[in-house]
Chain A
Amino acid sequence: ETGVTQTPRHLVMGMTNKKSLKCEQHLGHNAMYWYKQSAKKPLELMFVYSLEERVENNSVPSRFSPECPNSSHLFLHLHTLQPEDSALYLCASSQSGTGDEKLFFGSGTQLSVL
């Protein structure tokens, strides 16, 4: 157990559905991340929250909307997704969000878009 929990573990949704992924960290970290993991591709950073600041990957479509109500919780709201969005979505946290420190990953949400 790394202290980062994600729910749900699996999610199947249609292209017109709206769903949310949840992540919670119990490590006292100040930064949280969403990564997308597709087969045969590098882990792709989607969003970073460090204290009050959000750093956003410019290539993330607006159908993905993050929310970070506090330093322990992170959500990814999904709407009108496409089949190519099917992937493993990993949440991570780190102490300060400087980019040069250990990341603690959750187990991920395996998302299938039909």
Chain B
Amino acid sequence: ETGVTQSPTHLIKTRGQQVTLRCSSQSGHNTVSWYQQALGQGPQFIFQYYREEENGRGNFPPRFSGLQFPNYSSELNVNALELDDSALYLCASSLRAEPVDGYTFGSGTRLTVV
């Protein structure tokens, strides 16, 4: 399978709830990163997984967590949702932890917290 697929494309949740966003990476890509893109801003790095282990984290609280599975899929979990968590969440995969050729991005999940 080629490309990066994210689901769902849109999601509305209530403040305080929990959410799971899913990503299916390009086949063979053992590195996946998640980014949060607030409206009108550039994406911000949340964390990266390499071979199913967290390989680095940006400035996000522990209620943002993730998992990576052997079949190149991954999840982003956010607990205790806050209004400021409303954003586009992008998944990006690469063959290596240092993607010198750049990442392959999905089209994102638009999360709205009300």
Q: Tell me whether A and B are bound partners.
A: no
Chain A residues within CB distance 8 Å of chain B? none
Chain B residues within CB distance 8 Å of chain A? none
